[in-house]
Amino acid sequence: MSRQIISTTKAPKAIGPYSQAVRCGNALYFSGQIPLDPATGELVTGDITTQARRVFENLKAVCEAAGGSLAQLARVGIYLTDLGTFAAVNTVMAEYCREPYPARSTIGVAALPRGAQVEIDAILVFD
């Protein structure tokens, strides 16, 4: 099976030795996205809602660069530094994902890169 690296300037460039996403067959595997502004590479300021929206915008940009959409997400992994923000992130996710919803896990973590409050990775399946 061949691998295709997906990259777009509409999402933050990788800050380490990884790709924004890799397509293998009909599956697209996303690296974790934190709320970095793609234009500046800096963490967006604001509350968890602002940060979560930036992350979903970044994921959406990578989806589109691969020729897909958020509607094709099969799995989402959400990492939060404060599980008390779970409801707010759910609200944002509902702005970007419609039924039938992807499978999901949400995990509380001690810290994330660059002091982010949220990181999200995903798997998309092309029909």
Reported as a pLDDT band with limits 50, 70 and 90, residue 81 is very high
Mean pLDDT of 96-125: 97
In this structure, are residues 19 and 42 in contact, taking their beta carbons and an 8 Å threshold?
Answer: no
Mean pLDDT of 79-108: 98
Give the E-state strand segments of 31-100 in sequence order.
73-80
Helix (H) or strand (E) holding 52: helix 48-65
Q: Could you tell me the maximum CA-CA distance found in the chain, to the nearest angstrom?
A: 42
Mean pLDDT of 4-17: 94
Does residue 43 register a pLDDT over 80? yes
Q: What pLDDT is stored for residue 127 in this prediction?
A: 86
* Structural domain spans, the chain: 3-125
Q: pLDDT above 90 covers what percent of the chain?
A: 94
In this structure, are residues 23 and 40 in contact, taking their beta carbons and an 8 Å threshold?
Answer: no
Question: 3-125 falls under which CATH superfamily?
Answer: RutC-like (3.30.1330.40)
